[in-house]
Chain A
Amino acid sequence: MNRKIMSGVGLAAVASLALTGCGGQDEPAAVDGPVTLTLAGWDFASTPEFQTLADAYHEANPDVTVELKEYPAGDDYDTALTADLAAGAAPDVFIVKNLKNYVTFTEGGTLLDISDVAAELDPATGGLAPMEVDGATYAVPYRQDSWLLYYNKELFEKAGVDLPDGSWTWDDYAEAAAELTEGIGEKQVTGTYLHSWQSTVQGFALAQSGAPLDGGDFSFLAPYYERALAMQDEGSQPSYATVTTNELAYQAQFGTQKAAMLPMGSWYIGTLVAEQESGAADTFEWGIAPIPQADESTTGTDATPVTFGDPTTMGINSGIDESKIETAKDFLAFAAGPEGAAALAGIGITPALIDDAVADTVFGLDGVPQDDLSRFAYTTHETLPENPVGPTTAAIQTILGEAHSAIMSESTPVDEALAEAEERVVNEVG
């Protein structure tokens, strides 16, 4: 289950693996004559990845056209797609966006068994292994974001605080945040910014403690919550109350230099570059560091830092026309393989398969920081899922989400809220 993404995985090795993968197939990849596949994605205006994959595949297979079906972004994607699946109106291929729904989708028989596609993918593909349910795989990851620490070099220098060097634990991070807040000494500018999502605390705790989500014991969350509460009480970050009631956006907080640090997913690299270019964000020098660790055993550039991030996966609608199945599988193998990865990296998106070529592409983009630590942080990490695949994940996450707002709003003390959550899991999830 150890899904390390190492920069050491060579491009040649990956390519040869993929080649044997494709070449070893007996059946023809596509049926005769032109085929049109439909693909469900969301918000095409600001999410170009679907069009990119469709175009790249069409270029490699001129006979096949991938037609995009647009769904709304956010949680509405699931609502709308669920309706279409229930009514048998969903496209041939769709994105399984929230990992916590994956088991329900498979149990409901909405996804085709694509174990053969999964078997031919590079095992280093981020998030691939856990997609296996009872010996079969129903969706493959094509994109895998991981959480990193963004920092504003200029604010660090102004406050006279040492830049992150990859050796930080969470305590070092908290200390730096306090020093920064004081050192910068400006009203409304804080050392760091923690967004209101439950994952900003729980994702790290789950990944770094190694505790199971469905073990019935949530005490592993306590130290992470106590630290977060202490930091907001100290004023090192805006309080949860302020973040939610004022609907603060992390892009604005970090982009307009109201926070010197920001733990955030790797998708923000592309956003920040674009916003600095358009003027929506200030122009300043920034960098990426590995996310702070629970203890020193995983810190330093010779270790592999542990972080979290859910893969975005793609599956085939079980209601697909039989004649299109092979084409659809080929498209999935393409999207999750090195060619898809190269295409995605070209538009600044982190593919599930990170190799040197991908890193070269991403760090070759204008505006992306060039220091070694940034590259290390981007390429080297053990990324564990925020939503481990399991039948009870969705229900447990709802309960933990409610615990999150109770704790962070300081309505309920940490231990009490976690005990209550444990009780509810017994009562409601069973």
Chain B
Amino acid sequence: MATPVAQEQRTLGLTEPGRPPLRAPRTSLKLRNALIGWTFILPNFLGFAVLTLTPVITLFYISLTSWNIFGAAQWVGLDNFARLIGDKSFHTALGNTFYYAVVHIPVTIVVSLGLALLLNQKLRGAAFFRTVAFFPYITSIVAVAVVWNMLFSPEYGPINQFLSLLVEGDLPGWTVSKDWAMPAVIIVGTWKDMGYYMLLFLAGLQTVPGELHEAARIDGANTWQRFWNVTLPCLRPTMFFVTVMVTIQSFKVFDLILVMTDGGPGQATLVLSQYIYQKGFEQFEFGYASAVAVVLFLICILVTVVQFLYNKRKEA
């Protein structure tokens, strides 16, 4: 049992050095490795650098200008960022984005991991249930929003009709209530994303060696201990990937809010991505919108780096 466990202690993170080669490192070998490494990366990198990186760098430049999309951009230095400090709508959007992310991230991870564990078993009909779990992700987001809005309808919706059997008094107004709109959106967000992340976890679970479980079982570990001491450590690269993706996607949440509440009622569900769109495409303040995008980017990167460091410490 010792060998496979040791084997699982392998490179997991970003800067973790690869296993040192058996021979002593030499300059020519290093150069050769670098060359080969680049040949692997190059086909993708070319497209990536030209098509994604260039516009993204342009965006950073635009955030330092006042550009209305048409005509030339005017350099304004850090003015846009200074304006953010006093912009109450930006603060509201920032707060709402954190609200969404802080709830949506852990809930989605737990639910999708649970689904993956359940549907990774040799269950009759597992294929069917996996497909069902994936359905929300492939269903058109407009249809999703329409149906959930109807389910949440305070007067006629089945959810409140059901709740009225259980509780007395005022029922939540869901998407048309300031306090309940965000929980409603989070519920739908989790429901929609769970199949997607389940799929990623499912792939990760395939790398957990069966003999490890077998050995742990023989050692008398119960299901929970096996999950905690065998499955979870083996799943760490996937866990890191999923956590980073859920985090970034949650902070960037856009379509879902747009079709479900359009940021309302009032500004109750206004999030940063939507604010960027509003400022850019409705009010043509593209420089300012870009500054908001840069802030959103910095938040995502900060959280990712924290996750990365945590991941590394766990690993050590």
Are chains A and B touching in the complex at the 8 Å CB cutoff? Answer: yes
Instruction: Specify which of B70, B86, B87 is in contact with A110 (CB 8 Å cutoff).
Output: B70
Considering the complex, which residues of chain B in the window 169-201 have a beta carbon less than 8 Å from any beta carbon of chain A? Answer: 173-178
Number of CB contacts from chain A to chain B under 8 A? 103
Chain A nearest CB, measured from B80 CB (Å): 14
**In the assembled complex, which residues on chain B have CB atoms less than 8 Å from the CB atom of A245?**
149-150, 152-154, 157, 174-176
**Interface pair A427/B69, CB less than 8 Å apart:** no
Bound Cα distance from A109 to B264, whole angstroms = 34
Known: A82-B281, A402-B264, A406-B266. A104 touches B87 (CB 8 A): no
Instruction: Specify which of B86, B153, B177 is in contact with A246 (CB 8 Å cutoff).
Output: B153
Question: What 0/1 pattern do residues 379 to 400 of A give for CB contact below 8 A with B?
Answer: 0000000000000001100100
Instruction: Tell me if A169 is interfacial: C-beta within 8 Å of chain B.
Output: no
Known: A110-B70, A245-B150. A424 touches B265 (CB 8 A): no
Question: What 0/1 pattern do residues 396 to 430 of A give for CB contact below 8 A with B?
Answer: 00100011011011011000010000001001100
Chain B nearest CB, measured from A198 CB (Å): 11
- Looking at chain A's contact residues, the main secondary structure is helix
Bound Cα distance from A31 to B267, whole angstroms = 53
Instruction: Specify which of A104, A244, A411 is in contact with B284 (CB 8 Å cutoff).
Output: A104
Q: Which residue of the partner chain A has the closest CB to B83?
A: A428
Instruction: Specify which of A86, A403, A424 is in contact with B88 (CB 8 Å cutoff).
Output: A424
**Interface pair B153/A109, CB less than 8 Å apart:** no
**Interface pair B153/A412, CB less than 8 Å apart:** no
Considering the complex, which residues of chain B in the window 148-163 have a beta carbon less than 8 Å from any beta carbon of chain A? Answer: 149-150, 152-157
Chain B nearest CB, measured from A89 CB (Å): 13
Chain A nearest CB, measured from B147 CB (Å): 10
Instruction: Tell me if A308 is interfacial: C-beta within 8 Å of chain B.
Output: no
Instruction: Tell me if B268 is interfacial: C-beta within 8 Å of chain A.
Output: yes
Instruction: Tell me if B120 is interfacial: C-beta within 8 Å of chain A.
Output: no
Known: A86-B69, A244-B176. A394 touches B282 (CB 8 A): yes
Bound Cα distance from A339 to B33, whole angstroms = 74
**In the assembled complex, which residues on chain A have CB atoms less than 8 Å from the CB atom of B70?**
85-86, 104-105, 108-110
**Interface pair A424/B89, CB less than 8 Å apart:** yes
**In the assembled complex, which residues on chain A have CB atoms less than 8 Å from the CB atom of B87?**
427-428
Instruction: Tell me if B283 is interfacial: C-beta within 8 Å of chain A.
Output: yes
Query: How big is chain A's contact interface, by range?
Result: 35 or more
Considering the complex, which residues of chain B in the window 44-75 have a beta carbon less than 8 Å from any beta carbon of chain A? Answer: 68-71
Instruction: Specify which of B88, B173, B262, B282 is in contact with A241 (CB 8 Å cutoff).
Output: B173
Bound Cα distance from A245 to B175, whole angstroms = 8
Considering the complex, which residues of chain B in the window 223-266 have a beta carbon less than 8 Å from any beta carbon of chain A? Answer: 262-266
Bound Cα distance from A108 to B263, whole angstroms = 28
**In the assembled complex, which residues on chain A have CB atoms less than 8 Å from the CB atom of B263?**
402
**Interface pair B176/A412, CB less than 8 Å apart:** no
Instruction: Tell me if B146 is interfacial: C-beta within 8 Å of chain A.
Output: yes
Instruction: Tell me if B9 is interfacial: C-beta within 8 Å of chain A.
Output: no
Chain A nearest CB, measured from B260 CB (Å): 10
Instruction: Tell me if A150 is interfacial: C-beta within 8 Å of chain B.
Output: no
Question: What 0/1 pattern do residues 193 to 221 of B give for CB contact below 8 A with A?
Answer: 00000000000000000000000000000
Q: Which residue of the partner chain B has the closest CB to A420?
A: B266
Bound Cα distance from A239 to B265, whole angstroms = 14
**Interface pair A398/B69, CB less than 8 Å apart:** no
Instruction: Tell me if B278 is interfacial: C-beta within 8 Å of chain A.
Output: yes
**Interface pair A108/B149, CB less than 8 Å apart:** no
**In the assembled complex, which residues on chain B have CB atoms less than 8 Å from the CB atom of A406?**
178, 264-268
Bound Cα distance from A101 to B283, whole angstroms = 8
**Interface pair A412/B150, CB less than 8 Å apart:** no
Bound Cα distance from A85 to B71, whole angstroms = 10
Known: A240-B176, A394-B283. A82 touches B69 (CB 8 A): yes
**In the assembled complex, which residues on chain B have CB atoms less than 8 Å from the CB atom of A394?**
282-284
**In the assembled complex, which residues on chain B have CB atoms less than 8 Å from the CB atom of A405?**
262, 264-266
Chain A nearest CB, measured from B163 CB (Å): 15
**Interface pair B153/A101, CB less than 8 Å apart:** no
**Interface pair A403/B266, CB less than 8 Å apart:** yes
**Considering residues A82, A86, A241, which has the most beta carbons from chain B within 10 angstroms of its beta carbon?**
A241
Bound Cα distance from A86 to B58, whole angstroms = 15
**In the assembled complex, which residues on chain B have CB atoms less than 8 Å from the CB atom of A104?**
68, 70, 283-284
Smallest CB-CB A-B distances: 6 pairs: A108-B70, A406-B266, A405-B264, A245-B153, A409-B265, A409-B176
User: B: which residues have CB within 8 A of A?
Assistant: 68-71, 86-89, 146, 149-150, 152-157, 173-178, 262-268, 270, 278, 281-284
Interface CB pairs A-B, < 8 A, 30 = A78-B281, A79-B281, A82-B69, A82-B281, A82-B284, A85-B70, A104-B70, A104-B283, A105-B70, A108-B68, A241-B155, A244-B176, A245-B149, A245-B150, A245-B176, A246-B150, A246-B156, A247-B150, A394-B283, A395-B283, A398-B282, A402-B266, A405-B265, A406-B178, A406-B264, A409-B177, A409-B178, A409-B265, A411-B176, A428-B89
